[in-house]
Amino acid sequence: MESRKYSKGEVIFFEDIIEAIGFRFIYQVKSGAVDIIVNFETPEQKKLTTLKPGAYFGEIALIEGCPHSATAIAAEDCEVNLITDYEFFDVAKKDPKTVVELVKNLGIRIRSLTNDYMEVCKTLKEYGANESVGEKSGSLWKRLLKFSTIYTKNGKKVSDVKPELNRGTPLNWIGDNATYFDHNEIIFKEGEDSHCMYYIISGDVGIYASYGMKDQKLVTTLTGGQFFGEIGLVGNDVRSASAVALKNGATLDRILLNGLEDLVTKNPEKINLLLVYLSNRLRTLTYDYLKACKTAAEVIKASEDGDDLTISQAELLKFYTEMEILGNFCY
């Protein structure tokens, strides 16, 4: 495993850069600290987080072969481990806790970004429902300004094509914690503490808001080979929706954080699929967040210029105004 030393302020990798095959790594802070920044060297530059020794970063680019979604910079003099995909699984077999830390790290970042996404969606929802009172001096307007600065006209652009959320791929999955749920049997309830996530071995699962109430709504339907309930890998959060077995029931495998170490040695294919799903989840969530911030920026600009929103902009604002805000969107 290679390690490199970086001086304070030195760039480790740049946002939107795709590293060549053979030069893609999962990075780990060995000493010092690393800042993760979006819109680097633009007026809208924003620090997302500061990583301390032991933390992993850059894993999405390696796992999915996609561009880096942020810039990594040495917050102080630091040393960083550069781990190839082959080395990572070799390291993981020797020390399975490595994978557990990476999964936890992805889960924490998903939760943090989800909270940010919820906040901007709620702000747009409130503005769309009260445009006439969205005065520039009010707190609502200040919240819009906050999110508009995250989207940059001269820096990051939001693609017109949303990354597809790949919830999983069907495997010959033999569940160590497999459980069968009959038709209409509740898997977990909205508001319950979360302690695990699930993989659907067979059958279909419905995700509901306000299940069993008059305003019950089916949010999405999941089928065999898909993951859900990832917030359970972070812990200490409640479920934001209910999961219910549909049709002829469903067979699910419970994935527990304290059971991941065994999976590394017994079935690395499962671990790889889980990492791909979590990294993909984070990437699609980043897209949704930036798209919402872009809408906030367009609302601000139209108001300051004295213009109306375009038809497409107005339709997108209407989408946020009418959308269901489902807790942390992670179920």
Go through 282-310 and write b for each residue having 16 or more CB atoms within 10 A of its CB, e for each that does not. Answer: bbebbbbbbbbbbbbbbbbebbeeeeebe
Residue 77's domain comprises 2-94
Same domain, 32 and 62: yes
**Structure tokens that stand for 116 in this block:** 């940010």
Percent of the chain with pLDDT over 90: 22
| Mean pLDDT of the residues in the chain | 81
- Looking at 94, 129, 149, which one is the last position of a domain? 94
Domain of residue 34, CATH code: 2.60.120.10
Q: How confident is the model at residue 80 (pLDDT cuts 50, 70, 90)?
A: very high
In this prediction, residue 11 carries a pLDDT of: 95
Q: What is the mean pLDDT of the segment spanning 216-230? A: 89
Same domain, yes or no: 30 and 81: yes
Is 172 inside any structural domain?
A: no
Q: Is residue 46 part of a domain?
A: yes
Sign of CA dihedral 222, 225, 226, 228: positive
Rounded Cα distance between 222 and 129, Å, is 32
Burial of 53 (0-12, 13-18, 19+ CB in 10 A): middle
Q: What are phi and psi of 97, to 5 degrees?
A: -60, -20
Rounded Cα distance between 186 and 243, Å, is 6
- What is the DSSP annotation of 191-206? T-B---EEEEEEEEEE
Please give the average per-residue pLDDT across 303-320, as a whole number.
87
Tell me the average pLDDT across 77-106. Answer: 81
Are 12 and 85 in a shared domain? Answer: yes
- Residues 123-180 have pLDDT tens digits of 998 888 776 544 555 788 888 888 887 775 434 555 555 555 555 555 556 667 789 9
Out of 66, 94, 122, a domain closes at: 94
226 and 204 share one domain: yes
Tallying the residues shown for the chain, one arrives at: 331
Together in a domain, 107 and 140 = yes
**How far, in Å, CA of 195 to CA of 216, rounded?**
24
pLDDT for the residue numbered 65: 66
Domain total in the chain? 3
* Eight-class DSSP state of 55: -
Segment 17-34 mean pLDDT: 81
78 shares its domain with 16: yes
Q: What integer pLDDT is reported at residue 186 of this predicted model?
A: 96
Domain annotation covers residue 171: no
Q: What is the predicted pLDDT for the residue at 155?
A: 45
- In the predicted structure, residue 320 carries a pLDDT above the cut 90: no
Whether 267 is covered by a domain: the verdict is no
C-alpha 90: how far from chain center: 26
User: Between these two residues, 12 and 327, which has the higher pLDDT value?
Assistant: 12
Among 57-61, 72-76, 209-213, 240-244, the range scoring the smallest mean pLDDT is: 57-61
CB-side neighbour CA atoms (13 Å) of 240 = 19
Contacts of 312 (CB under 8 A, 6+ apart): none
**97 with 269: CB under 8 angstroms?**
no
Q: What share of the chain is helix, strand, coil (3-state, %, to 5)?
A: 40, 25, 35
- Calculate the alpha carbon distances from 84 to 37, 164, 303, 316 in Å: 23, 25, 49, 41
Q: Residue 201 phi/psi, 5° resolution?
A: -75, -45
Q: H-helix or E-strand containing 283? A: helix 268-305
Q: Output the DSSP codes for 165-224.
A: -----------TTEEEE-TT-EEE-TT-B---EEEEEEEEEEEEESTTSTT-EEEEEEET
Q: Please indicate, yes or no, whether residues 286 and 137 belong to a single structural domain of this protein.
A: yes
Distance CA 103, CA 100 (A): 5
If asked whether residues 75 and 26 sit together in one domain, one would say yes
